[in-house]
Amino acid sequence: MPLALLLCLLACGAAGAAATARPCASPYSGSSAYPFCDASLSIPARARALVSLLTLDEKIAQLSNTAGGVPRLGIPPYQWWSESLHGLADNGPGVNFSSGPVRAATTFPQVILSTAAFNRSLWRAVAEAVATEALGMHNAGQAGLTYWAPNINIFRDPRWGRGQETSGEDPAVAAAYSLEYVKGFQGEQGEEGRIRLSACCKHYTAYDMEKWEGFSRYTFNAKVNAQDLEDTYQPPFKTCIQEARASCLMCAYNQVNGVPMCANKDLLQKTRDEWGFQGYITSDCDAVAIIHENQTYTKSDEDSIAIVLKAGMDINCGSFLVRHTKSAVEKGKVQEQDIDRALFNLFSVQLRLGIFDKPNNNQWSTQLGPNNVCTKEHRELAAEAVRQGAVLLKNDHSFLPLKRSEVRHVAIIGPSANDVYAMGGDYTGVACNPTTFLKGIQAYATQTTFAAGCKDVSCNSTELFGEAIAAAKRADIVVVVAGLNLTEEREDFDRVSLLLPGKQMSLIHAVASVAKKPLVLVLLGGGPVDVSFAKQDPRIASILWLGYPGEVGGQVLPEILFGEYNPGGKLAMTWYPESFTAIPMTDMNMRADPSRGYPGRTYRFYTGDVVYGFGYGLSYSKYSYSILSAPKKITMSRSSVLDIISRKPSYIRRDGLDFVKTEDIASCEALAFSVHVAVSNHGSMDGSHAVLLFARSKSSVPGFPIKQLVGFERVHTAAGSASNVEISVDPCKHMSAANPEGKRVLLLGDHVLTVGDEEFELFIEL
């Protein structure tokens, strides 16, 4: 082992070695003469050259997230697993806060809250900031370069414990978020696809359940029809790979239609053959081991290894492949070329990251350090993400904003009001300087009284109600912080009920009954909560949803309550009533089926009652909309379909309805159009809010969405003024839906665009 590498391993550990030991960086390393170090060669040529130098044992040692080093070539060990969902997190071993100069990183709001801002530039800015901190920690020897985020699964069921990590229930929004996150995090790809960091689209695919009534994510068989797979579950992954060019894909634990995802050759190869994926595929942790041990899909461990490698998986999170691949080779179940294929993908990504090269060959290698972590700029960006994502659900008689001159004493009630742990959500690291809600309110009120009301969020006792009631009686204004935390929803733990946990509802009623004025209810958590009682109760004036706001939640809450910021976020998830829990969580069907009393899922297909709908959100201002310009007719010229007329019908008439398969449209780009919307602010406060544009067909076609989001923009409008916003629409992508065979179809005829109460009709024809 070269002396420099040995010293680095002793000083830095595996992650540090990945950060500083570069086998091609020095002529004294003993490896610079090898072809894989020749920067004049293409990355594929270098990757193949490196694979050719390894023995079988050395190759097998690379098949784990904790990849073994190759001392004779100067190649250090490497840790593939780091986490960066909404800030750097030490859930994986690649990020280390316990030793080194960096002991914390900015905790941005959980993804479901940032999504509610509906602001692409904000999403990208947050990803860029997280990337900056990742590189700063990497250069300090405390983090790797490969990160397993974002989570782009669809928030299909409101009980899902990990829905908080996602960008909600709409596949178009999830796709848009994945595009901004990956491009912001990896950086614009340079020559030969060089990237500063690697982002990973997970969990592929149809993964959205942890534990429910005896079902487990480790063994669950998601039965998904072709229609739902095409227009709900797959679009975020297609965009993440095809447009964002993510360099990693994670296959999920679950089966899809009877086949474990990490062994699903059809779906894994689709990403490369049809979507152009160029990167590595990792399993979720121990997802290969469970194929035989838990799912009994194969007859042996060796069979499991053979089936995943031949399906296209490249690396296993865990040690299973390292322990059993040699046996699989010896038994003839795995050929060395199967391993070589996987290593080619792994080394190609490492070469794109510049891991083996001289620092000056990688523009991001030495520019950043500990001083770029926990900066004032990143904290302000985190605060802006919370401000823009916060959703005002109720505000009777314009109770908010409060006037500081009229509020002397505030009682803030609820165990989460003085608990920084409640603010982070899943995959949270060590926050830089977290601010509780109590501390934030104290900066605004002359007197502040805190009462927990419940011992914890589970709230199984009324023992502390008395203290809360007494505080409420004395205060001018009462703020109750209720909702969820990670004891109620998290990885490997789904909710059973949509009601507030334990006796939280009773606490709210008790406090509201004695308060001098109607109270303000602040809701935390990623999953929807049935707060129908609060929606209807006049003693509850306002409801504000803050998701998991991260380290700056305590700072932002009083800014909103006292009118320094005008909320304008919109829900990215339908809030269902408690009755929805009668629907089996295992039913993957999106479309409603009246014949069996099934109401469907998400705003696109759900036919039941809601507490709050997707896209709902109030403001301190009242906005109105006017569509200034949009095409009244979209015509696919004869030349667009001329090449297919001779061999098959360009459109099909079924039950009197015309439609065109999008794959038969020669130029979808030619159909794209813009909608110009005037936004008027009728309030007395300037405001920024999300403008959502929906479309629906006037034809009632079974299986087609009730409506669907076709575009969105964040717009700032001054009080008493109007502003114009342009929203781009891609009909092939956003106005189409899948037919029962899983083919994208664009309906011809009359369609309606809607924004707020404004409607605009357009006609699509051949």
Q: Band of the pLDDT at 363, cuts 50, 70, 90?
A: low
Instruction: Give yes or no for a cis peptide into 109 (omega within 30° of 0).
Output: no
pLDDT value at position 365?
58
pLDDT tens column, 379-412: 999 999 999 999 999 999 999 999 999 999 999 9
d(Cα 81, Cα 519) in Å, to the nearest integer?
A: 45
pLDDT at 639 over 90: no
Identify whether the C-beta of residue 205 lies closer than 8 Å to the C-beta of residue 261: yes
- 102-117: per-residue pLDDT in tens? 999 999 999 999 999 9
Read off the pLDDT band of 431 (50, 70, 90): very high
Dihedral, CA of residue 441, residue 442, residue 446 and residue 448, to nearest 10 = 80
Separation of CA 620 from chain center: 28
Q: Which residue has the tokens 């848009």?
A: 176
Residues labelled as active-site residues: 284
- Which DSSP symbol is given to 445? -
Task: Band the pLDDT of 643: cuts 50, 70, 90.
Answer: very low
Measured distance CA(288)–CA(304) in Å, rounded:
7
CATH homologous superfamily for the domain 389-582: Glycoside hydrolase family 3 C-terminal domain (3.40.50.1700)
What integer pLDDT is reported at residue 16 of this predicted model?
41
For 677, phi then psi, to 5°, come to: -120, 130
Round to whole Å and give the CA distance between 391 and 616: 8
Residue 14 is predicted with a pLDDT of 41
Q: What is the pLDDT of residues 409-423, one digit of tens each?
A: 999 999 999 999 999
Helix (H, G, I), strand (E, B) or coil at 23: coil
Residue with tokens 């993964």: 207
Phi, psi of 433 (to 5 degrees): -155, 75
Distance from C-alpha of 596 to C-alpha of 374, rounded to nearest angstrom: 53
Helices 43-52 & 336-352, crossing angle to 10 degrees? 130
What does residue 546 show for φ and ψ, rounded to 5 degrees?
Answer: -120, 10
Tell me what the pLDDT averaged over the chain comes to: 93
Give the lowest-confidence range in 200-204, 496-500, 661-665: 661-665
Q: What are phi and psi of 674, to 5 degrees?
A: -115, 145
Residues with Cβ within 8 Å of residue 249, at least 6 apart in sequence: 200, 201, 202, 204, 237, 241, 271, 277, 279, 280, 281, 282
pLDDT at 642: 45
- Is the pLDDT confidence value at 6 over 70? no
Vertex 531: Cα angle to 529 and 534 (nearest 5): 155
Q: Is the pLDDT of residue 466 over 60?
A: yes
| pLDDT of residue 276 exceeding 50 | yes
**For residue 659, what is the enclosing H or E element?**
strand 657-661
Q: Is the pLDDT of residue 32 over 70?
A: no
Average pLDDT over every residue of 605-609: 98
Whether the ω angle into residue 436 lies within 30 degrees of 0, i.e. cis, is no
Q: What percent of the chain stands above pLDDT 90? A: 89
Task: Indicate the pLDDT class of residue 638, thresholds 50, 70 and 90.
Answer: very low
Structure tokens at 197: 């960091």
Measuring CA to CA, which residue among 83, 312, 108, 114 is closest to residue 199?
83
pLDDT above 50: residue 572: yes
- Domain 621-764 falls under CATH 3.40.1180.10: no
> Fold match between 389-582 and 621-764?
no
Q: Give residue 21's pLDDT.
A: 64
Give the lowest-confidence range in 3-17, 323-337, 649-663, 666-680.
Answer: 3-17
E-assigned strand segments in 706-756: 708-717, 722-729, 737-738, 744-747, 749-755
Does 137 have pLDDT greater than 50?
Answer: yes
Rounded Cα distance, 280 and 140, in Å: 26
pLDDT above 70 covers a percentage of the chain that reads 92
| Mean pLDDT for the stretch of residues 207-215 | 97
pLDDT tens digits for range 505-552: 999 999 999 999 999 999 999 999 999 999 999 999 999 999 999 999
Q: Domain boundaries in the chain?
A: 389-582, 621-764
Q: For residue range 57-66, list pLDDT tens digits in order.
A: 999 999 999 9
Cross-strand pairs, 227? none
Q: What value does the mean pLDDT take over residues 227-240?
A: 98
With a CB cutoff of 8 Å and minimum separation 6, the contacts of 222 are 206, 207, 209, 254, 255, 256, 257, 588
| Segment 31-37 mean pLDDT | 82
Q: How sure is the predictor about 17, in pLDDT bands with cuts at 50, 70 and 90?
A: very low
Q: What separation in angstroms does the CA of 348 have from each of 50, 80, 150, 578, 685?
A: 10, 14, 21, 49, 53
